[in-house]
Amino acid sequence: MGDAPAGAVRMYGLLAWTWIRAAAQYPVSMVLLALATAVVTGLDAAAIGLLFSQAPRIAGFGAPEVLFLYGTSALSFGLSDIVLGTTERLGQHVRQGTLDAMLVRPVSPLVQVATEEFSPRRFGKLVPAAAMLAFALPRAEVAWTPGRAAMIPVMVLSGTVIFAALWVLAGAVQFVLVDSHGAGKSVTYGGAFLTQYPMTMFGRDFVRGVTFVVPLAFVNWQPALYVLDRPDPLGLPGAARFASPAVAAVLCAVAALAWRAGLRHYRSTGS
């Protein structure tokens, strides 16, 4: 049992590499698709730039600070999308009966769904995120300390895990609600868009919801308050700024339980 996670990681790498090798047979198409993905993903950053062309600050935050939020959010979401984004297709497999075939193979169905049609073009999503983060960090008015510098990779990793857990949760719901694909996107893609902006843009009740119900505030907002030395609009204790790793761990546990419960209650289509 102790080797199960390592075995799943090995199988994930093997299946992903198989899809990458298949895509590499058409290198020009692969590169163009990756570039197109980077351009489309970068439109969100362009929209932020357009907003700042009309106003010097957004909800009390300057351009480098908002681009910092964009970069950390988009990088976390892009990494999670690369690893687990295709779990949103689970409902399609349930409807078509193809999940039955996955269940009899000696590989986790989660790994099979997550690596389905794995394409290098997904990595294009990371380009604008990394570029904007590299642009914003030296321009943000931050009194850099070792703790603040260390928080950057911690928040990106924690945000990636939080988004990954949300992908799995959204997939697990489709065991029961097959047509919940749109609702899942509102949490994953909607959450990615939401976390690109300061939470001070939104009402307090909404911010409470994305802090205590769907913990999107811990993707980058709470740790960003520490990095940028900003007060919390909800007045949460300072420890909340360091809670992202713990929140990510709890959400992973919840996602794992939900996925296993979905598998246990799945009923074959008989096809």
Which of the residue ranges 54-63, 227-236, 241-250 has the most confident prediction, judged by mean pLDDT?
A: 241-250
Can you tell me which residue has the tokens 């497999």?
A: 93
pLDDT in tens, 104-143: 888 889 999 999 888 888 899 999 999 999 999 999 989 9
- Whether 161 has a pLDDT exceeding 60, the answer reads yes
pLDDT at 178: 65
What's the pLDDT score for residue 182? 67
Is the pTM for the entire model greater than 0.85?
Answer: yes
For 97, the token pair is: 């009966």
In sequence order, what DSSP letters do the residues of the chain get, joined into one string?
-TTHHHHHHHHHHHHHHHHHHHHTTSHHHHHHHHHHHHHHHHHHHHHHHHHHTT-S-BTTB-HHHHHHHHHHHHHHHHHHHHHHGGGGGHHHHHHHTHHHHHHTSSS-HHHHHHTTT--GGGGGGHHHHHHHHHHHTTTS-----HHHHHHHHHHHHHHHHHHHHHHHHHHHHTTT-TT-HHHHHHHHHHHHHHTTS-GGGS-HHHHHHHHHTS-GGGTTHHHHHHHHT---TT---GGGGG-HHHHHHHHHHHHHHHHHHHHHH------
- Take residue 224 and report the two structure tokens written for it: 């960003």
Quote the pLDDT of residue 63. Answer: 93
pLDDT of residue 220: 96
Q: In the predicted model, is pLDDT for residue 3 greater than 70?
A: no
Q: What digits encode the pLDDT tens for the residues 186-236? A: 889 999 999 999 999 999 999 999 999 999 999 999 999 999 999 998 999
The predicted model gives 92-108 an average pLDDT of 86
Give residue-wise pLDDT tens across range 12-34. 999 999 988 888 888 898 889 88
